């Protein structure tokens, strides 16, 4: 079946540095990719929707300059957390939608900012 690869699985970084998370659809072309954030004991919060070749659509309250999303190809989207701070520590997960409108999820990235 379709697989979405997300990496890294976990990352620890110093405050002020930037972190890039990759989301790849391995055996299908993803017309749309979604990025989510999950706080402890809470459900996924949609951060942004990205379509290949166009700018991402951010949900209300999500800082565009903080969370940079690039969807340069039909198989790759990246989320860059710029100038990360401890409050950005969270679990980030991506999903990719194929041409049949079916959704596949990555396994998530746990980010810890010291």
Partner 1 sequence: EDQVTQSPEALRLQEGESSSLNCSYTVSGLRGLFWYRQDPGKGPEFLFTLYSAGEEKEKERLKATLTKKESFLHITAPKPEDSATYLCAVQSNSGGYQKVTFGTGTKLQVIP
Contact residues for partner 1, defined by CB under 8 A: 1, 9-10, 34, 36, 38, 41, 43-44, 46, 49, 91, 93, 95, 101-105, 107-108, 110
48-54: list long-range contacts, CB under 8 Å, 24+ apart.
Answer: 50/77
User: Least CB distance from residue 106 to partner 1, whole Å?
Assistant: 8
User: Least CB distance from residue 53 to partner 1, whole Å?
Assistant: 18
Sign, CA torsion 105/7/68/114: positive
Closest CA to 70 of 110, 20, 28, 106: 20
User: Least CB distance from residue 29 to partner 1, whole Å?
Assistant: 17
Identity of the residue, 34 or 67, whose beta carbon is nearer to partner 1 in the bound complex: 34
């Amino acid at each position: 079946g379709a697989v979405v690869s997300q990496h890294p699985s976990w990352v620890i970084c110093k405050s002020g540095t930037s972190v890039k998370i990759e989301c790849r659809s391995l055996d299908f072309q993803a017309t749309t990719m979604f990025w989510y954030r999950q706080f402890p004991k809470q459900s996924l919060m949609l951060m942004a929707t990205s379509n290949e070749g166009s700018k991402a659509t951010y949900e209300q309250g999500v800082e565009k300059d903080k969370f940079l999303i690039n969807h340069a190809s039909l198989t790759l989207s990246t989320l860059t957390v710029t100038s990360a701070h401890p409050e950005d520590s969270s679990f980030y997960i991506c999903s990719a939608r194929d041409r049949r409108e079916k959704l596949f999820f990555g396994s998530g990235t746990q980010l810890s900012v010291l």
